[in-house]
A and B are shown apart, each in its own frame.
Chain A
Amino acid sequence: MSKPVLATTSLAGCFGCHMSILDIDERILQLIELVEFNKSPVDDIKTFTKPVDIGIIEGGCCNSENVEVLRSFRKNCRILISLGECAIMGGLPALRNGIPIEECLHEAYIGGPTVQLNKSHILPNDDELPMLLDRVYPCHEIVKIDYFLPGCPPRADLIWEALVALITGDPMKLPYEVIKFD
């Protein structure tokens, strides 16, 4: 049997969850024995080159590009996992939810106390830039998510145990100390 294929991405997140993936330390050598990486910042493959078994999503969706990437993950991955606070509930970026997007943009580019260089009050609107969504959405509000792994970031042991269980089909061993928030 060929190895299961894994893909990962970071949407509106801080890459902290990816750092936590790397925190499995030397087990990363075991991981590449167990799986083959496809599209992921870990191996820098930018586009899907084959069907993927497990897609890991860090971060929620704050702009149109996030939505497109997430949808392409859903299309190309058999199983999708929301990894960490932002993917599951919006997290820190979702602090802007509840503040109108106009106000956020004004504060960031025009009115904010640290805005000094933007003298001509330009608002970024190039077609190459992703378009901002009205609010930050958790992944499950855009596509169907199969599993949720909590934490900010989730502990490396939690990611490791969950992945191994998913790949081997063995039951997960997740004592409270491993899933505990702090």
Chain B
Amino acid sequence: MEKSVKQIIAKYNTNQTRLMDILIDTQELQGFIGKEAVSDIADALNMSQADIEQTITFYHFLSTEPRGKFAIYLNDSAVAIMYGQRAIKETFEKEVGIKFGQVTNDGLIGLFNTACIGMNDQEPAAIINNRVFTKLTPYRVREIVRYMREGKNMDELINESYGDGKNHLPSLKSMVSSNIRRKGMILSDSYIYGSVTKNILPGISPEAVIAEIKHSNMRGRGGAGFPTGLKWEFCRRAKGDKHYVICNADEGEPGTFKDRVILTEKPELVFEGMALAGYAIGGDEGILYLRYEYRYMKEYLEDVLAVMRKNNVLGENIAGIEGFTFDIRIQFGAGAYVCGEESALLESLEGKRGEPRDKPPFPVEKGYLNQPTIINNVETFATAVRIIENGGEWFTQFGTEDSTGTKILSISGDCMFPGVYEVNWGFNVEDMLDMVGAYNVQAVQVGGPSGTLIGPDEFHRTLGYSDLSTGGSMIIFNKQRDLLRDVVLNFMEFFIDESCGSCSTCRNMPEVMKNKLVRILNGNGVKSDLTDLKAWGKVLLASRCGLGQTAGNPIISSLKNFRPLYEELLQKEKEFDQGFDLEASVQQSCRYVKRIPKFHLHE
């Protein structure tokens, strides 16, 4: 590892577009990015200090202040709280003797909240110095804090309590469990990696690869569902000096963790899919954009890439195909949900704040470094390999007509067997609840907070792009849960925290909507509040990206499907009352300018 900021800058060739890597490495080297480091980086990269600072302050895991020798990031998502996060939080505060958001005076321990870390099936969970600690209990918290004070190292803190699957490997040594409960074509062990690259690619043209993907009718697995073959074709046709393949592994939607499992158990399949895409679009460089929460996989994934290079599944003249060169590097985010939006991801990859771009142009034309770029989800690349192996026609036998193939679901919340399930599209919610052992179900959040909250009268609906579309997150709530307080409010706070702030609709409206929800929860709501909320959901549609457009969904969707929960809290007799008092609101300014308030209505 580099020993100084100067070495770090040199490692990335003093390249402005690698600012994110430079900042992350500096943060890890020093525990924060102080004034001196900012100034060194700004000078070396020929950027202003404000440029460096605006990037640092955009990302949750980067900091201009020290975060402690042990920086503890405790997940505060809705499901974590359902699984007892509050007791964990209190125990941390009591044992360490500080509040969340603070660092101990001796600089040993810092406590911080963080949004969903992709461990919904094993909450409460925290990230400590890039290692994940799952299924925390108050006892375990006391032990961890004691170990820290005794000077034990990170491995000793983990206590050899490794998770299932590959998590025990020396390059991972992770407590995380994969919890695979149902396998399909992606999670299956039947595929030997490299076989498509070595046995099929030498005999098939890039155009034929795209034709086969188009024939399969596969749509992107990230959530938006854009036809994958079409995206690849657009990109192949776009003119540019270089074409790029980006794998979106930002997986920030609360309740989603399937990409973490795919990358842990089947990383070769994903990387092979990226190389396949490179072959199809005529690109030789791939980047895996991995969320910082999964930093613990860095060494493991780099080992996998090294082995793949050795086996000539990556590298030069792959599988003996003259001129087919493709390699992959891993670049990390630093804690920003919005970077899952593809154009924000590109900005982040280029070392900037993750603010979505104005579209068009779309990334297939002007993407990474303004060159034609495809950005696909982890699962999409893995699926593409199986399609080329078996043919597009074979693929269409799985799923439904408009949603072909399988979908890997991340299922969590009130059920006996939370984890990852690979099912055919067309699966219905009722069957899903049986499969995971969920009883007394009040509601299911389909597709994460930006998706839909449905109740029992909609459990007959099926998963697919024409009905219940999902990127994979399914969160189950039983009848004991207070949906508005424990779920909707938490989700709204999440969107408020994660707005990039670019469009005023998304910067302000979720806050305004949340305030109205709190008013209603406090018993001060009136009938017009509900019509306002519904209208404001539409105002959000003016936002630039999907995050902003869906940031009101927790309220809009619960208002649509659980309206009685709102209505029973309203003051029945009032149509309109926002509690505004003109006389009271001018007192402060009149007092200061020494003036007696006078009211003369001109009507």
When chains A and B are docked, how far (Å) is the Cα of A105 from the Cα of B590?
11
Q: Does A151 contact B (CB under 8 A)?
A: yes
In this complex, the member of B504, B541, B543, B597 whose beta carbon has the largest number of chain A beta carbons within 10 angstroms is B504
- A132-B539 contact, Cβ under 8 Å, with A89-B504, A89-B509: no
- A68-B589 contact, Cβ under 8 Å, with A141-B578, A150-B542, A181-B505: no
In this complex, the member of B539, B541, B544, B601 whose beta carbon has the largest number of chain A beta carbons within 10 angstroms is B539
- A64-B503 contact, Cβ under 8 Å, with A89-B509, A124-B593, A140-B532: no
When chains A and B are docked, how far (Å) is the Cα of A88 from the Cα of B504?
11
Chain A, 99-125, contact with B by CB distance < 8 Å: what is the 0/1 string?
A: 011100100000000000000000111
Q: Does B603 contact A (CB under 8 A)?
A: yes
Interface size on A, residues (CB 8 A): 43
| B593–A133 CB distance below 8 A | no
Q: Which residues of B contact A135 (CB under 8 A)?
A: 585
| A85–B532 CB distance below 8 A | no
Q: Which residues of A contact B592 (CB under 8 A)?
A: 101-102, 105, 123
When chains A and B are docked, how far (Å) is the Cα of A74 from the Cα of B587?
24
When chains A and B are docked, how far (Å) is the Cα of A41 from the Cα of B236?
54
| Contact with B603, one of A72, A152, A180, A182 (Cβ below 8 angstroms) | A72
When chains A and B are docked, how far (Å) is the Cα of A176 from the Cα of B542?
7
In this complex, the member of B536, B575, B592 whose beta carbon has the largest number of chain A beta carbons within 10 angstroms is B592
Q: Does B528 contact A (CB under 8 A)?
A: yes
Q: Which residues of B contact A145 (CB under 8 A)?
A: 532
When chains A and B are docked, how far (Å) is the Cα of A94 from the Cα of B207?
55
Min CB–CB distance A176 → chain B (angstroms): 7
Q: Does A26 contact B (CB under 8 A)?
A: no
- A132-B586 contact, Cβ under 8 Å, with A124-B593, A140-B532, A148-B536: yes
| Contact with B588, one of A89, A102, A152, A181 (Cβ below 8 angstroms) | A102
Min CB–CB distance B336 → chain A (angstroms): 20
Q: Which residues of B contact A132 (CB under 8 A)?
A: 586, 589
Q: Which residues of B contact A105 (CB under 8 A)?
A: 589, 592-593
Q: Which residues of A contact B599 (CB under 8 A)?
A: 64
| CB-CB nearest in chain B for A152 | B504
| A180–B542 CB distance below 8 A | yes
When chains A and B are docked, how far (Å) is the Cα of A84 from the Cα of B594?
34
Which residues 132-146 of A have a CB within 8 angstroms of B?
132-135, 137-138, 140-145
Q: Which residues of B contact A123 (CB under 8 A)?
A: 592-594
Q: Does B435 contact A (CB under 8 A)?
A: no
Min CB–CB distance B440 → chain A (angstroms): 39
Min CB–CB distance A103 → chain B (angstroms): 9
| CB-CB nearest in chain B for A129 | B595
Q: Does B10 contact A (CB under 8 A)?
A: no
| A88–B539 CB distance below 8 A | yes
| Contact with B586, one of A131, A150, A181 (Cβ below 8 angstroms) | A131
Which residues 560-603 of B have a CB within 8 angstroms of A?
575-576, 578, 580, 582, 585-590, 592-595, 597-599, 601-603
| B589–A134 CB distance below 8 A | yes
Residues of B within 8 A of A (CB): 358, 503-505, 508-509, 512, 528, 532, 535-536, 538-539, 541-544, 575-576, 578, 580, 582, 585-590, 592-595, 597-599, 601-603
Residues of A within 8 A of B (CB): 47, 64, 67-68, 71-72, 75, 85, 88-91, 100-102, 105, 123-125, 127, 131-135, 137-138, 140-145, 147-148, 150-152, 176, 179-182
Across the A-B interface, give the 7 residue pairs with the lowest CB-CB distance, nearest first: A132-B589, A125-B595, A131-B586, A125-B593, A123-B593, A181-B503, A89-B508
Q: List 7 A-B contacts (CB under 8 A).
A: A91-B504, A131-B595, A141-B578, A150-B542, A151-B542, A179-B541, A180-B544
